Amino acid sequence: MRRRVISMAVVSSMECVKSVRGVILDMCGVLYDSGEGGGQPIHGSVQAVKRLMDSGLIVRFCTNETQNTREKFVQKLQRMGFDISVSHVFSPAPALIRILRERGLQPHLLVHDDLLPEFDGVDRSSANCVVIGDAAENFSYQNLNEAFRVLIGLEKPLLFSLGRGRYYKETDGLKLDVGVFMKALEYACDIEAEVVGKPAPGFFQSVLSDMNLQPHEVVMIGDDLVNDVGGAQFCGMKGVQVRTGKFRPSDENHPSVKADACADNLAAAVDAILTHHQ
C-alpha cells in the first residue's frame, strides 16, 4: 500500500519530464548492484529498460565504470538480462582516449589491470600526462609515487581522472574510489585534474550529441545525487534520483543539489515517464 502511494507521488512530480524525448541511464546502482560474481540486477530494472527502449524514447547508458573495458562491462550486463549494445554505453576510458588523440598526448596509466586493453594502440612510449582510473589494489604507495614522479617531472603536470567518486560499496565493505587519489595527486603537485566521466559537462554533452537531442529534451536517471543528477542539471537536463544503489536519505536535504524528482527505483521512474510519454 505504502509503495503504491509513493508511486503515485512520483507520477505527479514527474510532470517535469513531460516533453522528454530521451533518457540517459546510470548503470551501477540503477540497473544492478555490484557484488560477488559481478553483481545482481535490481528488481524490475531489466523489464524497465526494455519498456523504455520499446517506447520510442531515445535511450543511452552512462557509467563511470573503469574496472573493465566497455565491452566486458556490457557483456556482464547482457548476462544479467539487459538488452544493451556497446555503442549505446558511454564510459570514461573511450572518451579519454579521444581526448588523448585530439591533443597528441601519451599517458602514464594508473588504472585497473582489466581496463588496460582499452589502451591497446595508444602510444605510451614517452609519457606527457598521467591518467588515473578506479585502480583499486593498483593504488599502492609504489604506483602512486611513480605517477607522482611522472607528473612532477613535467613542465606543466597534467592529470586526467576517470571520474571523481569518493567511495563505493562492495560485498566486503566500502572501497575508496578514484576521486580520493585524484585529490591526493592534486595536492602533491599543486594542480587541478581534468575529470573525464560524470559529472564533467563534456562527457554528458558527448552523450547528448550522440542522441541528437537538446539538453531540455533529456532526463538523466541516477542514484548519485551529485555526479548523476547535479551533473545532468548543470548541462540543462532534468535529473531524477532513484532510491537504490548509493542513495542515502540525507540526499533529499543536500545543500546544493535538488533532484527534479525522486523514484523508489528504476521501474517506478519508468512507470512515471511512460505515463507522461504519449
Footprint on this chain of a second copy (rule: CB under 8 A): 136-142, 144-145, 148-149, 152, 166-167, 173-176, 179-181, 183-188, 190
Nearest approach in angstroms of CB 117 to a second copy is 22
List the one residue out of 225, 230, 246 whose CA is nearest residue 29: 246
Contact partners, residue 59, CB within 8 Å, separation at least 6:
22, 23, 24, 25, 49, 52, 53, 88
d(CA 278, CA 276): 6
H/E run at residue 251: none
Nearest approach in angstroms of CB 81 to a second copy is 31
Nearest approach in angstroms of CB 221 to a second copy is 24
**Grid coordinates in use for 157?**
603536470
Nearest approach in angstroms of CB 123 to a second copy is 25
> What is the CA 12 to chain-centroid distance, rounded?
27
Q: Which is nearer to a second copy, 40 or 140 (CB)?
A: 140
Nearest approach in angstroms of CB 187 to a second copy is 4
d(CA 119, CA 124): 9
d(CA 224, CA 199): 10
Nearest approach in angstroms of CB 120 to a second copy is 25
List the one residue out of 165, 160, 191, 192 whose CA is nearest residue 176: 165
Taking CA 204 as the corner, what is the angle to CA 52 and CA 200, rounded to the nearest 5 degrees? 140
Q: Which is nearer to a second copy, 144 or 266 (CB)?
A: 144
